[in-house]
Amino acid sequence: MSFLFWSITFSSLILSILALMFRKPKFLIIAAFLILPMSLYLAMSPSFKVWGIIFPFFFAGASILIRKYTIWLSIILISPNFLLVGWFAYVVLNQPNV
């Protein structure tokens, strides 16, 4: 289960990079659906009540901005997803052994 969770999460980040490189908004829509399991998992925790649901909408907003040829603003919208996945991977990998 965790292998599928992390592979889908990292593939959404790779798709977002490809969407920016080739200016394909449909890749960002696919990336939004792929990051949905992680955002729903975070929405169930008390720390990320509303914030967990917002992360897929960053990809959707960036896809609209790619259609309007404002790439710099779409990069800004995508960056919180990279920070979230990086932070979450750091927390999971550095858990203390009990």
- Whole-angstrom distance, CA of residue 73 vs CA of residue 81: 14
pTM attached to this predicted model? 0.89
pLDDT of residue 7: 93
pLDDT at 68: 92
Spell out the domain ranges in the chain: 2-93
- What is the mean pLDDT, run by run of 10 residues, along the chain of 98 residues? 84 96 96 93 85 92 94 95 94 87
φ, ψ for residue 36, nearest 5 deg: -60, -40
Supply the pLDDT for residue 1: 56
